[in-house]
């Protein structure tokens, strides 16, 4: 029975990673659509929200079924508990990708982009690496990938406020930048929240591996 449970958990972990890669891809594509003003890519990204929702519900149902069927204990139970938490955070990351894509059509009307856009791309690269490392930690059950998440999260928070302050400066200097800079401030918030969700995933992975709770604030 234990062998069969481990086989089922391994298969479910693969589905979680697949869902996470879809969510990460949505964020990546939304930022590409923003940088290239590719409205078609933005629309295609928005449509993926339905797939994320379906995967969330499917994985949850399978995890609950395994708990009911096998009554797992110790690390097996922690793995399934982590999966149930992770899919919520992953779905939120995908939602931020959808939200960024949804403003591309409007923001693309403003040319050229004000300078804070460049900083958004830099911020995204940091958030992307955090999400990827959180997924590696989950997939390999190795917390070495998430040991410095507190410092990395602080860096992303500072980037968000830096972009916000820069946007305010541009808006005060030139009223024409008010609309795009308002969108940029909102996108910076979405990216900052994506980093926060990477931290929440990291917290659950730490518990899964060690059996100890760790808060990343």
Tell me the Cα Rg of the chain. 19
For the cut 90, the answer to whether the pLDDT of residue 32 exceeds it is yes
- Tell me which of 64 and 109 has the higher pLDDT: 64
* pLDDT number for residue 105: 78
Instruction: Give me the CATH topology for the region 2-210.
Output: Methane Monooxygenase Hydroxylase; Chain G, domain 1 (1.20.58)
What is the DSSP annotation of 46-113? HHTHHHHHHHHHHHHHHHHHHHHHH---HHHHHHHHHHHHHHHHHHHHHHHHHHHHHHHHHHTTS-SP
Do 29 and 44 contact (CB within 8 A), yes or no? yes
* pLDDT number for residue 2: 80
**Residue-wise pLDDT tens digits, 113-135:** 877 777 999 999 999 999 999 99
Q: Count of H helices and E strands in the chain?
A: 7, 0
Q: Determine which of 6-15, 22-31, 108-117, 136-145 has the lowest per-residue pLDDT on average.
A: 108-117
Do 204 and 85 contact (CB within 8 A), yes or no? yes
Range 12-26 average pLDDT = 97
For the cut 80, the answer to whether the pLDDT of residue 109 exceeds it is no
**Residue-wise pLDDT tens digits, 76-107:** 999 999 999 999 999 999 999 999 999 987 88
* pLDDT number for residue 110: 62
For the cut 90, the answer to whether the pLDDT of residue 186 exceeds it is yes
The residue with tokens 């693969």 is: 14
C-alpha 46/C-alpha 85 separation (Å) is 24
Do 124 and 193 contact (CB within 8 A), yes or no? no
* pLDDT number for residue 75: 92
Q: How far is CA 18 from the centre of its chain?
A: 13
Alpha carbons within 13 angstroms on the beta-carbon side of residue 171 total 14
Share of the chain above pLDDT 70, in %: 98
What is the DSSP annotation of 145-181? GGTTHHHHHHHHHHHHHHHHHHHHHHHHH-GGGHHHH
Phi, psi dihedral angles at 147 (to 5 degrees): -65, -30
Positive or negative, the CA dihedral 185, 187, 192, 193 is: positive
C-alpha 202/C-alpha 145 separation (Å) is 9
Q: How confident is the model at residue 1 (pLDDT cuts 50, 70, 90)?
A: low
Range 138-157 average pLDDT = 97
Q: Which string of b and e fits 155-174 if b means at least 16 CB within 10 Å?
A: bbeebbeebbebbeebbeee
Range 6-26 average pLDDT = 97
For the cut 70, the answer to whether the pLDDT of residue 49 exceeds it is yes
* pLDDT number for residue 108: 76
What is the pLDDT of the chain when averaged over all its residues? 94
Domain ranges of the chain: 2-210
């Amino acid at each position: 029975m234990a062998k069969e449970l481990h086989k089922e958990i391994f298969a479910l972990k693969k589905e979680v990673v697949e869902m996470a890669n879809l969510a990460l891809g949505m964020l990546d594509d939304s930022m590409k659509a923003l940088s290239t003003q590719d409205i078609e890519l933005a629309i295609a990204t928005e449509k993926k929200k339905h797939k994320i929702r379906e995967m969330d519900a499917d994985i949850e149902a399978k995890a609950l079924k395994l708990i009911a069927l096998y009554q797992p204990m110790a690390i097996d139970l922690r793995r399934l508990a982590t999966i149930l938490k992770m899919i919520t955070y992953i779905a939120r990351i995908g939602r931020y990708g959808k939200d960024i894509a949804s403003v591309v059509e409007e923001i693309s009307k403003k040319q050229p982009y004000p300078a804070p856009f460049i900083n958004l791309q830099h911020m995204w690269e940091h958030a992307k690496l955090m999400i990827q490392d959180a997924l590696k930690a989950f997939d390999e059950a190795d917390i070495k990938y998430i040991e410095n998440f507190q410092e990395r999260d602080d860096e992303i928070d500072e980037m968000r406020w830096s972009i916000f302050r820069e946007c305010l400066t541009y808006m005060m200097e030139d009223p024409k930048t008010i609309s795009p800079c308002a969108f940029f401030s909102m996108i910076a918030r979405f990216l900052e929240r994506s980093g926060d969700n990477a931290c929440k995933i990291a917290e659950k992975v730490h518990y899964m591996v060690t059996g100890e709770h760790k808060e990343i604030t």
